[in-house]
Amino acid sequence: MSEIESLKGQLDSLQTAALVAFAQAEDLSALQQLRVHYLGKKGALTEVLKGVGKLPPAERPVIGQYVNQTKAALTQALELSEAELAVKGKALRIEAERLDITLSGRKQAVGALHPVQQGLDEITAIFAQMGFAVAEGPEIEDEFHNFDALNIPPEHPARAMHDTFFLKDLHSDSGEPMLLRTHTSPVQIRTMKRFLAEHGEPPLAVVAPGRVYRCDYDVTHSPMFHQVEVFKVDRDVSMAHLKGVLQHFLSTYFEKEVGIRLRPHYFPFTEPSAEVDISCVFCAAKGCRICKGSGWIEVLGSGMIHPNVLRSVGIDGDEFSGFAFGLGVERLVMLKKGIPDLRLFFENDVRFLRRMGVSK
């Protein structure tokens, strides 16, 4: 074979290989590499051209024309592949960025008030509508406000019944250990003192919601729970006022006319004292498991404020009288919503909270 035929053969096979490679290129960067490999300054075509110098001068123009044809064919094929890959790349990008607007959106979970907080708000609002002013007090108390001022002196057995959490490292100004309040009744003392300092004498009517603490835990007891303290002091306040306020409150809260019954009881801070029952809201007082067949359910403790309590804040018990009662918020919410176990309130099981209709 002559030298020129050999060169033409090399150019033919180079062109065939290049066209196949261009057609199979996956993307534009692969194609760019092929361009360098075949048409670059140190590429395959340049390599073949080195053989041209060995040809006799008369044959060089012939092979020159052949080389130009090969180069043109490669360039044209490259541009074609480039155009195809550009279109394909755009299509891929569009596909990757495609949004399915028929997919439904992600639902935002909206938080809501806990059933106990709902109950607190509801109960407080009923008293606020009756004209009671809302007051709050500290959860860390001293023995004076939590016990002494409420007619529970140091040796009184009621202190033991309160299962108090004492804060051994915290002391009051008089050196006694501080404690977590066991009831909202100390707010009575603090509010009466503040009110007298500002206004000189009663009347005052107050509702005081808040957290209280006792060292106790079972189906009906939690170490932290909520109470609402309600009291009114004025001239000529009687048990009849107490009963009227209770009747209105309990019927409003349970959204039905409930019967109420006052049973004589003992509390150190009221005299006389009464436990308050309502006609069973589950069986219409016919008798069921929850009211243990009696038709009545105990809901709170109440009474006329003990003269010693009035005296501890400087109110003349001969001139003024008052009623007070304290109710457990969890207990009332359990009765209203039919919740069997107090602990459900504090376990934060979302299934329970959803059922209470307070979480979406």
Residues that bind Zn ion (CB under 5 A): 280, 282-283, 288, 291
Nearest to 330 by CA among 339, 321, 322: 339
Q: Which is nearer to Zn ion, 4 or 280 (CB)?
A: 280
| Least gap, CB of 254 to Zn ion (angstroms) | 13
Buried b (16+ CB within 10 A) or exposed e, 98-119: eeeeeeeeeeeeeeeebbbebb
Q: How far is the CB of 258 from Zn ion (least distance, A)?
A: 12
148 versus 277: smaller Cβ distance to Zn ion: 277
CB of 173 to Zn ion, least distance (A): 50
The CB-of-338 to Zn ion minimum distance in angstroms stands at 12
One-character DSSP codes across 221-240 = B-SEEEEEEEEEEETT--HH
Minimum CB–partner distance for residue 299 and Zn ion (Å): 13
> Which residue's Cβ has the minimum distance to Zn ion?
280
Residues in the chain: 360
Separation between Cα atoms, residue 40 and residue 18, nearest integer Å: 13
165 or 254, CB closer to Zn ion? 254
Q: Which residues contact 184 (CB under 8 A, 6 or more apart)?
A: 137, 208, 209, 210, 212, 227, 228, 229, 326
SS (H, E, C) 259-274: CEEEEEEEECCEEEEE
Residue 206 or 281 having the CB closest to Zn ion:
281
Amino acid identity of residue 174, one-letter, is S
Please name the residue that has the structure tokens 């993307």: 27
Instruction: Please state, in angstroms and rounded to a whole number, the distance separating the CA atoms of residues 167 and 140.
Output: 9
Between CA 176 and CA 157 the distance in angstroms is 19
Nearest to 77 by CA among 67, 66, 69: 69
Min dist CB 253 to Zn ion, Å, is 17
The nearer residue to Zn ion, 144 or 282, going by C-beta atoms, is 282
Dihedral angle over CA of 325, 330, 333, 339, nearest 10:
-140
Q: Closer CB to Zn ion, residue 299 or residue 309?
A: 299
Q: Which is nearer to Zn ion, 7 or 258 (CB)?
A: 258
The least CB distance from residue 277 to Zn ion, in Å, is 11
